[in-house]
Amino acid sequence: LLHVPPPAPTRRGYPGIVALHGYTAHASEFAPYTGLSAVADAAGFVVASGGRSRSRSSLVRRRKLVNSA
């Protein structure tokens, strides 16, 4: 999930941050919770919030398989 502030007329680029969340969270839930989009708009920076690549249930199944071996 990428949040880019409204463009400023004289802006040629933006600083950015990467917001990380726990493995059970998702970027679409995490971004509104942090309020970083509003801060980014006011301060003029980009916020990138990563999503998880696998569902939580597949991670749990995989962990059980690894721990049972």
Q: What is the pLDDT along the chain (69 residues), one digit of tens a residue?
A: 788 888 766 767 788 998 887 777 777 778 888 898 999 999 989 998 876 655 555 555 555 555 555
Look at residues 64, 34, 65 and name the one whose alpha carbon lies nearest to residue 49.
34
State how far the Cα of 2 lies from the Cα of 50, in Å rounded to an integer.
Answer: 8
Kindly report the pTM of this predicted structure: 0.61
Please provide residue 68's backbone torsions phi and psi, each rounded to the nearest 5 degrees. -85, -15
Residue 56 pLDDT: 56
Residue 12 pLDDT: 76
